[in-house]
Chain A
Amino acid sequence: MAFGLYSLLEAMLLCLNAVCILHEERFLSKFYSDQRGFGEEAGMKTQLLSLIKSIRTVMRVPLVGLNIMTIALKLVFG
């Protein structure tokens, strides 16, 4: 399977979009309610959730720009 670097960038962009689109109320709150204990038990779920949260916080605005750029590129170059 011959991927190029551009395919990798596209795939990463799509995955980041997917993470940012997850619905807070309907979906993510179910995972929040399970464990909210502080302390040193940083289990896998907590780590994953904090990762998702940080991606959503950080990448919301740059993703808009990246999406616009990718759409423009696809329009021009097909």
Chain B
Amino acid sequence: MDAPSGFRHPGGGPRRGRGRQAHGPQNPQLFQDTSTVPQHPQGGYEQPPGPGYGPPPQQYAGGYGSPPAPGYSGSPEQHYMGQQLFQDPMAGMAMQYGTSLAGQGKDLVQKNIEKYVSTSKVKDYFDVDTVYVCKKLGLLVFPFTHTEWSVRYQEPVTPRMDINVPDLYIPVMAFVTYILTAGVALGIQNRFTPEQLGIQSSSALVWLIIEMLVIWLSLYITNVQSDIKYLDLVAFCGYKYVGMILSLVAGLIFHSGGYYFALLWSSLTLAFFLVRTLKMKILAQPDGYSQGSGSKSALYMLVFIALVQPLFMWWLTSHIMFVKAPIVNLSGGPY
């Protein structure tokens, strides 16, 4: 194969014919181009008509400037290569340009979103695995036997490493499941319309936002010295949806008795879980000096947060369950 090798650019020294990784500094290729793409030796440009993807767009600024037409005029290999991967080299270049533009656009969007919502930190909260989810759910249902509540301090802390790290996966999933379960419960009571799903979800979301605001304001006003992060708070407020789902399901199966029992049980376990977890976070700081009033109000805050959750749980589920009685009576009597 002397003829193709004769066309090799003296400076680049690329391999021919087999999968190339890089043609040299001007045109690196990121995919295995298995077609034999001869290169014309003209000028300083290396213009393989089967284009490479991906590299920084500055490198192609010079590449776009030179039209491939002069390259095609001379040699027979160009004809052969014209039938290769992309029939139209302009389409190939357009694709390259589009890809680089898309990459730039993505970077721009990422940077702008990063200003408002810290996406990298949010990603940490979703880094869960099955073992963590199972253990955490078990902990939410029965936290009384768990002994070690503090987080082993490593930065950054992801839920994979430690079961005591709050995550956002369970709250998000529990929220969606709660909406669906509420839909099922409403459907069993013949009260379901598709709008109800939207109404329930936006109502639950609104209560969540209100609760978040109230807790954040209270934490700010009582000036509690804690390093509890905002997203941690969202996670902790989201754990009550698990309890709500259990209450709804128990209410569906065992009617009123089951509902109230499950509600009481979930409230108890959630309060216990929150008190133990938040005690670690909020009151963890007094190493040497203990702020007298600070820690007292912190304690009040803690208890307040823990106790307001069952209230919300009852509030959000009761209006789904409370028309149980007429349905039970209706099934017996004439309708």
Give residues in A with beta carbon < 8 Å to B: 1-5, 7-8, 42-44, 47-48, 51
Interface membership of B220, Cβ < 8 A: yes
> Whole-angstrom distance from the CB of B297 to the nearest CB of chain A?
7
Instruction: Given the known inter-chain contacts A43-B293, A44-B297, please indicate yes or no for A5 contacting B202, CB distance below 8 A.
Output: yes
B223 lies within 8 A of A4 (CB): no
Instruction: Given the known inter-chain contacts A1-B203, A5-B202, please indicate yes or no for A44 contacting B221, CB distance below 8 A.
Output: yes
> Whole-angstrom distance from the CB of B318 to the nearest CB of chain A?
11
8 Å CB contact of B223 from A1, A8, A47: A47
Interface membership of B164, Cβ < 8 A: no
A44 lies within 8 A of B199 (CB): no
B203 lies within 8 A of A3 (CB): yes
Give residues in B with beta carbon < 8 Å to A: 199-200, 202-203, 205-207, 209-210, 220-223, 293, 297, 319
Docked pose: A17 CA to B76 CA in angstroms: 78
A8 lies within 8 A of B221 (CB): no
**Majority secondary structure of chain B interface residues (helix, strand, loop or mixed):** helix
B206 lies within 8 A of A44 (CB): no
B222 lies within 8 A of A8 (CB): no
Docked pose: A44 CA to B221 CA in angstroms: 6
8 of the cross-chain contacts (CB-CB < 8 Å) are: A1-B203, A1-B319, A5-B202, A7-B206, A8-B210, A42-B223, A47-B221, A47-B222
> Whole-angstrom distance from the CB of B244 to the nearest CB of chain A?
16
A3 lies within 8 A of B207 (CB): yes
Report B-chain residues with C-beta under 8 Å of the C-beta of A4: 199, 202-203, 206
Residue of B nearest to A4 (CB): B202
A8 lies within 8 A of B206 (CB): yes
Docked pose: A4 CA to B319 CA in angstroms: 16
Docked pose: A44 CA to B293 CA in angstroms: 10
Docked pose: A47 CA to B200 CA in angstroms: 36
A44 lies within 8 A of B223 (CB): yes
Q: Considering residues B207, B221, B293, B319, which has the most beta carbons from chain A within 10 angstroms of its beta carbon?
A: B221
> Whole-angstrom distance from the CB of A54 to the nearest CB of chain B?
11
Report B-chain residues with C-beta under 8 Å of the C-beta of A1: 203, 319
Q: Considering residues A2, A43, A44, A51, which has the most beta carbons from chain B within 10 angstroms of its beta carbon?
A: A2
Q: Considering residues B206, B210, B293, B319, which has the most beta carbons from chain A within 10 angstroms of its beta carbon?
A: B206
> Whole-angstrom distance from the CB of B63 to the nearest CB of chain A?
48
> Whole-angstrom distance from the CB of B195 to the nearest CB of chain A?
10
